[in-house]
A and B are shown apart, each in its own frame.
Chain A
Amino acid sequence: MRSVLLSLTAIALALFIGALILLASGVSPLVAYGALLKGAFGDAQALQRTLEKATPLVFSGLAVAFAFKASLFNIGAQGQLLLGAIIAAAVGFGVEGLPPYIHAPLALLAGATAGALFAAIPGVLKVYTGAHEVITTIMLNYIAINLTDYLADGPWKDRSPMNIVARTPAILESARLPTWGPIPSGFVISVILAGVIYWLLWKTTFGFEIRTVGQNRHAARYAGISVAKVMIATMVISGLLAGLGGAVETQGVVGRYQPGFNVGLGFEGITIALLAKTHPFGVVPAALLVGAMKAGSSQMQFAADVAKEIIDVIQALMLFFISAEFLLRRMLRMKEEAGEEKLVLSTGWGSGD
């Protein structure tokens, strides 16, 4: 409950400071925020836009939050998501003659697997060499960006006569994910997965192992839990979620892989996970909030004549206040409770401890 209050306060403060910035630039915050709201939820089309923007963020938010539970900081969600997106595209345009109920899930599975395997690398490196996952995942992000750029401009390039940019061919209709009314099926999948992740973390023995490793890996070893296996498995599942996010984006929204279309989706997962206080059920509303801001920003730019970038500023402010939790607690006169599960952002620098 307290963590919900902390997140809500951070959001309110960010919106408040955003309003001050709007005022300073001569725009009525009411008008701007009103347009934002309308652009995000005003009609069925707006709602669909919001849900589409939120969907990949639920996946990447879950990916980052899940890794946090084992006190692993997966900054590599971006790279895992890119690989998931391009592999799903490859299966989507490259495999022909399958019915939709096989083709679409197959492409999703391929994307998820790509993300999972890619995330296994930092997991294995951490366990066997002590290389910190923050460093290795950042590095692997570059590899993913360049690899996907190469594939989209090389072997998998769209060779149709009209095309001059780097992109893959469009995926076949049978690989596309349907949209039900304003609700994209990818969003439904993401919400179900949030429930599955919750179940996994809190209702299964594997989840207990993950949380034990996350809160005290020495005690985990003492209790006979294989910390190495748990860490690798956690990274694999985290990467699977991110990869699936990329696949859903390809099959549900973009319709092909094109460099530049998935920028930041993985990184924003970090914002989402922190806003959600790493709880899978918090990830969905957090992603909806950020998704709505993205969806409504064009309307706001049009109606209130403010640059879209104000949205980025507000998002950054949210992250700032969430990170400055100490500040928020002081404002809310909230004491840190003994025994609160702590979010450990980085363990194992240098000492391997």
Chain B
Amino acid sequence: MSEYVLEARGITKRFPGGVVANDHVDFNLRPGEIHALLGENGAGKTTLMNIIYGLYQPDEGQIFVDGRPVVIRSPHDAIRLGIGMVHQHFMLVPVFTVTENIILGAEVVRFGIVLDLPRARQQVLELSRRYGLEVDPDALVEDLPVGVQQRVEILKALYRDARILILDEPTAVLTPQEVEELFAVMRQLRDRGVSIIFITHKLKEVLAIADRITVMRRGKVVGTTTPDQVDEQKLAAMMVGREVVLEVQKTPAKPGPVVLDIRDLRVEENGVPVVKDVSLQVRAGEILGIAGVQGNGQTELAEALTGLRRPQKGTLVLDGKSMPFNNARILIENGLGHIPEDRQKHGLVLPFSIADNLVLCTYYKPPFARGWQRQPQAILENAERLIEQFDIRAAGPMVPVATLSGGNQQKVIVAREFSRPIRFLLANQPTRGLDVGSIEYIHRRIVEMRDQGVAVLLISAELDEIMSLSDRIAVMYEGEIVAVFDADKVDKATLGMYMAGARRQGDDELVAAGVRTQTRA
């Protein structure tokens, strides 16, 4: 028996255009360990895994499974060798049951043709019991929360007898609680002999779960280490190649007059209230963070505030002026800046150039247009200036934003919104899915906007982000603001209690803080 269940030696992969995604990469996996593969976006983690899973062929190098050299030409080969992969975006059929999804492509049949669902169901049950992965085999996948869907993906791999499990950024789509559950599952799998490769760029997670850590940067392996030899600071430096400031540097806020004033905002979804009579005031020069587990009305609140949704009730006042709802244009013209939750869906037109995306909100105004005529020269100059100013890494202003990394796509949005004269910034999950370097950069810019007197409303599922950026923190639970704190007078554990709905401040306190207009009857 070899020391390693999986070993990659000297893997090199070049892509057309001269990009070396993997440059003589060595990687190995011991039986029954959780091995974290850490690196920024574009460091080559996913390329390496795609090579191991047979989606790409390496230009150089050799892969060994159980010490024997193997050639993996397709995922089919990989599965035969006991390698399973759970992709970042799930590959499930929403209208099929859990059982049907798990057996899809490896169906249990009678007489060579008739689907034997009862037996398949039994197998799935046994499997989920054996590995402690609780899941209802008869539930429709579309009815399941994301965390459970992920479990189905893992079961899919195990059903195909995977001994080596590759998890590609599995925590990116999960809530903090779901992350904890996933980690519990990973530990159980490890204890039952499954070897796990855990791809991520989140430092805390790596330190919490990994047995060993391999760090990649720009296609090369920087080193392999263990959690007890490093801390976040060291890992970040390995990843980025320089010292990184993980703590946000900021001076105390100097709040000015109220810029955003919303009262009794009520949003209903199919007749069910999801934002329940929320009032909020954000002052110039302060960051108000909204903490809360995802799905507690934050998305709907943000949509109502940015002209994307008409609330059932409420008022919105910006800089003393009453604003209409469901009209993004008027809000933008009155000083709204918006970093949307889903940058690819709302924030960018992916096939458009960087230059066009940078004028997405101002394309009709001088100098970018004169009457009907667009002014390509002005649009181009604007792009060149902002690319320089916001350090957007791209081949030029005319390349489609679809070709940029996530961090650079987000910088395009930030550059567009921050280069306009804005009074109120709504930043919704501004660093989701970004690497350490980009997070540092975007945090710094948001604090700069605050210091210039912009009122910032920050919505984030990352409690660390809320804690380190906000001057005041409001907790949202089931569509209501249940507590408001000064950021320096509260800790994570306390916030967690309010986020989970275990506690709420008294109505009198909430009214005094301006997040309710009246006490409940």
Please list the residues of chain A having a beta carbon within 8 angstroms of any beta carbon in chain B. Answer: 203-208, 211-212, 215-216, 218-226, 338-342
Contact = CB atoms under 8 A, between A and B. Distances in A.
A335 to B, nearest CB: 8
B307 A224 contact: yes
B306 A205 contact: no
A127 to B, nearest CB: 14
Given A216-B348, A338-B402, A339-B403, 8 more contacts: A203-B373, A203-B374, A205-B364, A206-B372, A212-B349, A215-B352, A219-B346, A222-B308
Contacts of B345: 216, 218-219
Contact of A215 (B307, B330, B350, B399): B350
A204 B374 contact: yes
B170 interface: no
B308 A224 contact: no
Contacts of B239: none
B377 to A, nearest CB: 12
User: Top 5 A-B pairs ranked by shortest CB distance?
Assistant: A339-B400, A224-B329, A339-B402, A224-B328, A341-B351
B402 A222 contact: no
Given A203-B374, A338-B403, A222 B352 contact: no
A226 B327 CA distance: 9
Contacts of A220: 349
A203 B379 CA distance: 12
Contacts of B332: 223-224
A206 B328 CA distance: 17
B361 interface: yes
Contacts of A215: 349-352
A215 B349 CA distance: 7
Contacts of A212: 349, 352, 360
B350 A222 contact: no
B360 A219 contact: yes
B363 interface: yes
A208 B363 contact: yes
Interface in B310-359: 327-333, 338, 340, 345-352, 356
Contacts of B373: 203-205
Nearest to B16: A335
Contacts of B356: 208
B42 to A, nearest CB: 13
Contacts of B347: 219, 222
Contacts of A222: 306, 308, 328, 338, 340, 346-347, 360
Interface of A is mostly: helix
Contacts of A338: 400, 402-403
Nearest to A202: B374
Contact of B328 (A204, A223, A339): A223
5 contacts: A216-B345, A216-B349, A219-B360, A224-B307, A339-B403
Contacts of A341: 351
Size category of the binding interface on chain B: 20 to 34
A338 B403 CA distance: 6
A205 B401 CA distance: 20
Contacts of B403: 338-339
B146 interface: no
Interface in B467-501: none
Interface of B: 306-308, 327-333, 338, 340, 345-352, 356, 360-361, 363-364, 369, 372-374, 399-403
Contacts of B399: 339
Contacts of A211: 352
A222 B349 CA distance: 11
Given A204-B374, A212-B360, A218 B351 contact: no
A339 B396 CA distance: 14
A309 B332 CA distance: 57
Given A216-B345, A224-B328, A208 B402 contact: no
A216 B401 CA distance: 13
A340 B351 CA distance: 6
A342 B351 contact: yes
A341 B307 CA distance: 27
Nearest to A207: B374
Contact of B346 (A204, A207, A218, A339): A218
B190 to A, nearest CB: 36
Which residue among B369, B372, B373 has the maximum number of chain A CB atoms within 10 Å of its CB? Answer: B372
Contacts of A342: 351
A108 to B, nearest CB: 23
A339 B307 CA distance: 27
A205 B402 contact: no
Which residue among A215, A223, A225, A226 has the maximum number of chain B CB atoms within 10 Å of its CB? Answer: A223
A205 B364 CA distance: 6
A99 B352 CA distance: 48
A196 to B, nearest CB: 12
Nearest to B402: A339
A205 B400 contact: no
Contacts of B340: 222
Nearest to B327: A224
A219 B308 contact: no
Contact of A205 (B308, B352, B363): B363
Contacts of B400: 338-340
Contacts of A204: 372-374
Contacts of A225: 329
A220 B348 CA distance: 9
A207 B328 CA distance: 20
Contact of B360 (A223, A226, A339): A223
B351 A221 contact: no
Given A339-B401, A339-B402, A339-B403, A205 B350 contact: no
A213 B281 CA distance: 33
Which residue among A203, A338, A339, A342 has the maximum number of chain B CB atoms within 10 Å of its CB? Answer: A339
A222 B348 CA distance: 9
A218 B347 CA distance: 8
A339 B351 contact: yes
A254 B372 CA distance: 38
Contacts of A205: 363-364, 369, 372-374
A293 to B, nearest CB: 33
Nearest to B306: A222
Given A221-B328, A339-B350, A208 B374 contact: yes
A338 B338 CA distance: 26
Contacts of A218: 345-346
A219 B351 contact: no
Contacts of B308: 221-222
A206 B364 CA distance: 9
A230 B374 CA distance: 17
B354 to A, nearest CB: 10
A233 B356 CA distance: 22
B402 A219 contact: no
Contacts of B360: 212, 219, 222-223
Contacts of A226: 329
A317 B327 CA distance: 47
